[in-house]
Structure formats: C-alpha cells, structure tokens
C-alpha cells in the first residue's frame, strides 16, 4: 500500500498499541526471569528449613546467605538477644524468607497476567484491571516480615502502577468520547450535505462502504478502515455552498454553472480547514482531492498521479461508481455492469489503476452493498 494521508486516531492508536506491546513484552520477559529466580530462592529456603530442622550445617549456611529478616530482628530485640535458641532463629529466618519469596512469586505471576491482558486487549487500560492489581497488591504487606523497607517500596510501586492504569482508563474513556462526538458531527454534516444536494437516498452510506471495501483490499490496517470510511462521508461537504437550483437542475449545466459546481472541492477544503480532529483533517483531504484525475485533467488543482492523496483516489472511484448507478435529477441510473465497464475503461486516465484493480477484485461485494443500500425511490 502506498503512503497514505491518514494521521487518524486509529493510526495514533496503532502506534501507541505497538509501543505498549513492546514494553509489555519487556516487562513479561522480566517477570519470567524474576519468577525463575524467586522459585530458586524459595526452593533454597525450603531446603534450608529442612536442613536446619535436621541439624545439618547446610541450614546454617543457607540462613546466613539469606541474611537476617526484619521479623528475626524484632524477635531478638523484643525477647532479648540469646534468649531464643540459634537453631529456632535460623528456622524463623528461613521461614520469613520463604514466605516473602512465595508472596513475591504470586504477585509477579499476577502482574505478568495483567500485563498480558493490557497488551492483548483492544483497550489496554481498564478500571477493573487497576482494581484487580490493587486487590492483589495488599498481599505484599507480608513482605515486611522479611524487609520493611523493600516491602514498603514494592507495595508503593504496585499501588502507583494501579492508579496509573486507572488514570489511563479515564483518559482512554475521554478519548473514546471525543471520537464518538467527532463521528456524530461528521455524520450529521454529511446528512445535511446530502439533503442539500437533493440526493435524499443512501449515497453517502454507499460511498462510505465502497471506500471501506476498497481500502481493505488495498491493504489498509484494520484499525484505519473506520477512519477512512467515516471521512469519506464528507467528500461533498462543499456543496453546502452551491445554490440548490444548480444542484437540482434537471438539464445540462452551463459552463458557468459547472464552474460553480467544481468549486465545491475548494469550498469543502475551506470549510474544514480549521476544524480540529484527525478524521476531520482526513475528511478535508478527501473533499479537496476526490475529483482530481490520475491523468491531471481533474479539478480543482489539476493534480495528477501520486500528487493526489491515496484516500482521494479511492473515494474518486467509489463516488463515480455510485453516481453512475444512481438516479439524479439530470440522468437515469446506469446498469451496474455498464458502470463497472466505465470504471475499468477509465483506469489510468481518470482513476488510479491500482484502485481500479481493487475495485475489480471486490466488485461483487461492492455491488452487494449497492443493492442492500438501494435508494427507496423508483429507479
């Protein structure tokens, strides 16, 4: 697929998700390594407990390697140094160490599962994920039996991570809400344009579906298909500024009237020029470019070939096919096979040959959409 003009939320999301997956992969690899180390340390602690119980010197060695736990230090300080037999202290020390490793191992397993959920879900941040992490985080309190400082630090880091995930869920929800509002505005404007131009049927919906099918055939990532489908509904937004008597004129247009009609691409670009939102910017690109021709004979800027945005080239085919197969005030609808032949005939002149090939490959699906979304008027 050639480089496209899309810098839509779906593309941004794709980049973000890709980065999240990479970071998640690193974290999960780290979790695996830590789990292996924790299992080994837990095993050594259990061996040490057994050896100490049996009176073997190995127990003393492993207890010394484990270091002195906070719990042992508290026992020693509260009861008095030397009051508890050395063998019992070593047993307590190894038990506290084993408990800390078991708790840490369980938490790492939970963390690994949460990271997997975050990286594999369509929406990586969820409130439920944050709450689940917090529920499992409080088990880390048991780490204080081994080391108060280390336990407190790990507990605080885990809690902070859970609140960051929850905040991410909040931002994600707001972004989704913004996207929904943007979609509603686009659809509303498209419907107003369609009614203004006298095309009271399903023209906008058909062109949008044709565009989605063609973009899919041309290799657009799945997450970008909705963006180009939605943006294509605004291709004729500039017709809002064209007088109705010209749009609905039943006969042939004069040169002056056609010149006014051609201005709708420029007017569309101007209407959308200062509108924020990635899909709206893509809508502007399509509005400006969808009447340009591959051979440079289109309007309004006379672009040719790759100078025309790829989305503009896709919508050009979708729009013309629907215009040919739809009834208008100035013409009858063409037979679908005649329209197909016309699109193919204009490959390399009016249309990008690559887009025409996609049209040919998915024509049965496109024609099925045409029949499904047929206008409720006599053809």
The pLDDT tens digits for 327-343 are 877 778 899 999 999 99
Per the CB < 8 A criterion, the answer to whether 193 and 236 are in contact is yes
pLDDT number for residue 379: 39
User: Does residue 95 sit in the same domain as residue 208?
Assistant: no
Q: Is residue 191 in a domain?
A: no
Is the model's pLDDT at 80 over the cut of 70? Answer: no
Residues in the chain: 379
Q: What is the CATH number of the domain that holds 211?
A: 1.10.3210.10
User: Does residue 169 sit in the same domain as residue 239?
Assistant: no
C-alpha 40/C-alpha 36 separation (Å) is 6
Instruction: Choose the weakest-confidence range: 58-72, 76-90, 144-158.
Output: 76-90
C-alpha 347/C-alpha 353 separation (Å) is 5
DSSP-based three-state secondary structure for 250? coil
What total number of domains does the chain contain? 2
Average pLDDT over residues 314-334: 89
User: Does residue 169 sit in the same domain as residue 204?
Assistant: no
User: Does residue 161 sit in the same domain as residue 201?
Assistant: no
pLDDT in tens, 232-281: 998 988 888 888 888 777 778 888 988 998 999 999 899 888 877 778 88
Rounded to 5 degrees, what are φ and ψ at 331?
-165, 165
Average pLDDT over residues 39-50: 86
C-alpha 132/C-alpha 123 separation (Å) is 16
Q: Is residue 132 in a domain?
A: yes
pLDDT number for residue 6: 47
User: Does residue 156 sit in the same domain as residue 227?
Assistant: no
Quick one: DSSP state of residue 253? P
pLDDT in tens, 304-314: 999 999 999 99
Domain that holds residue 131: 9-174
User: Does residue 149 sit in the same domain as residue 59?
Assistant: yes
Task: Tell me which of 174, 209, 225 is where a domain ends.
Answer: 174
Is the model's pLDDT at 300 over the cut of 50? Answer: yes
CB burial of residue 103 (10 Å; 0-12, 13-18, 19+): buried
Average pLDDT over residues 14-39: 80
User: Does residue 78 sit in the same domain as residue 212?
Assistant: no
Catalytic residues: 239
Report pTM: 0.62
User: Does residue 122 sit in the same domain as residue 15?
Assistant: yes
User: Does residue 149 sit in the same domain as residue 23?
Assistant: yes
Per the CB < 8 A criterion, the answer to whether 133 and 165 are in contact is yes
pLDDT confidence tier of residue 73, bands split at 50, 70 and 90: low
User: Which residues, in sequence order, are CB contacts of 309 under 8 Å at separation 6+?
Assistant: 4, 5, 285, 286, 289
Q: Tokens 């906070």 appear where?
A: 70
Q: Is residue 331 in a domain?
A: yes
C-alpha 180/C-alpha 8 separation (Å) is 14
C-alpha 98/C-alpha 332 separation (Å) is 83
User: Which residues, in sequence order, are CB contacts of 21 under 8 Å at separation 6+?
Assistant: 119
pLDDT in tens, 133-192: 888 777 777 776 667 777 778 788 888 888 888 888 888 788 777 777 777 777 777 777
């Amino acid at each position: 697929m050639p480089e496209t003009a899309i810098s839509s939320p779906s593309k941004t999301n794709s980049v973000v998700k890709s980065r999240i997956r990479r970071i998640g992969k690193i974290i999960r690899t780290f979790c695996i390594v830590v789990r292996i180390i924790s299992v080994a340390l837990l095993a050594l602690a259990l061996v040490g407990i057994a050896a100490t119980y049996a009176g073997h010197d190995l127990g003393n060695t492993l207890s010394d390697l484990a270091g002195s736990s906070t719990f042992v230090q508290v026992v020693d300080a509260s009861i008095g140094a030397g009051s508890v037999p050395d063998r019992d202290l070593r047993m307590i020390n190894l038990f506290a160490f084993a408990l800390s490793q078991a708790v840490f191992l369980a938490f790492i397993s939970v963390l690994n599962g949460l990271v997997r959920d975050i990286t594999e879900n369509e929406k990586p941040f969820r409130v439920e994920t944050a709450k689940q992490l917090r529920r499992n985080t409080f088990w880390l309190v048991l780490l204080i039996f081994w080391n108060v400082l280390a336990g407190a630090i790990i507990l605080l880091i885990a809690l902070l991570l859970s609140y960051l995930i929850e905040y991410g869920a909040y931002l994600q929800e707001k972004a989704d809400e913004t996207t929904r509002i943007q979609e509603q505005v686009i659809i509303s404007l498209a419907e107003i344009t369609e009614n203004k131009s006298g095309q009271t049927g399903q023209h906008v919906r058909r062109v949008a579906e044709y565009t989605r099918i063609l973009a899919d055939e041309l290799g657009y990532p799945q997450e970008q298909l909705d963006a180009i489908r939605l943006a294509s509904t605004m291709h004729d937004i500039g017709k809002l500024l064209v007088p109705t008597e010209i749009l609905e004129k039943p006969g042939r247009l004069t040169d002056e009237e056609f010149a006014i009609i051609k201005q709708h691409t420029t007017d569309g670009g101007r209407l959308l020029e200062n509108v924020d939102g990635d899909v709206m910017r893509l809508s502007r690109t399509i509005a400006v470019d969808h009447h340009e021709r591959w051979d440079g004979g289109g309007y309004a800027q006379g672009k040719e070939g790759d100078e025309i945005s790829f989305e503009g080239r896709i919508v050009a085919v979708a729009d013309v096919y629907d215009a040919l197969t739809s009834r208008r005030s100035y013409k009858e609808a063409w037979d679908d096979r005649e329209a197909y032949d016309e699109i193919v005939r204009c490959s390399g002149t009016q249309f990008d040959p690559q887009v025409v090939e996609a049209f040919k490959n998915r024509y049965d699906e496109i024609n099925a959409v045409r029949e499904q979304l047929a206008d409720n008027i006599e053809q």
